[in-house]
């Protein structure tokens, strides 16, 4: 259960870089880190479930207004 919570938190982390009002680049940093953790997992039984949780958390993290915002 704790591992699923870790994937949920990692998947929802985004870095959004914006310049003025024209350039807005979202980068799913937590999803990439979560994929690295999931692929190096010793037990491969519930890997599909981990990928699903990461994908759902990534979509929620994109819509929700939290993450790291960089304005320059």
Q: How many independent structural domains does the chain possess?
A: 1
Residue whose C-alpha is closest to residue 54's, from 31, 27, 28, 37: 31
* pTM for this predicted structure: 0.81
The residue-averaged pLDDT of 47-68 equals 88
Q: How confident is the model at residue 72 (pLDDT cuts 50, 70, 90)?
A: confident
SS3 20: coil
For residue 26, give every residue at least 6 positions away whose Cβ sits within 8 Å of its Cβ, in sequence order, or none: 14, 15, 16, 17, 62
What is the pLDDT at residue 52?
93
Q: Residue 56 and residue 50: Cα distance in Å, rounded?
A: 10
Domain that holds residue 14: 2-71
Q: Residue 69 and residue 58: Cα distance in Å, rounded?
A: 16
Q: How confident is the model at residue 70 (pLDDT cuts 50, 70, 90)?
A: confident
Tell me the per-residue pLDDT of 6-53, one tens digit each, with 9 for 90 and over.
Answer: 999 999 999 988 887 778 888 999 999 999 998 888 777 788 899 999
């Amino acid at each position: 259960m704790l591992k699923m919570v870790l994937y949920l938190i990692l998947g929802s982390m985004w870095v959004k870089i914006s310049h003025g009002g024209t350039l807005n680049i979202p980068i799913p940093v937590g999803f990439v880190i979560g994929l690295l953790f999931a692929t190096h997992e010793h037990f491969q039984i519930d890997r599909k479930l981990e990928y699903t949780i990461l994908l759902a958390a990534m979509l929620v993290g994109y819509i929700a207004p939290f993450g790291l915002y960089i304005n320059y």
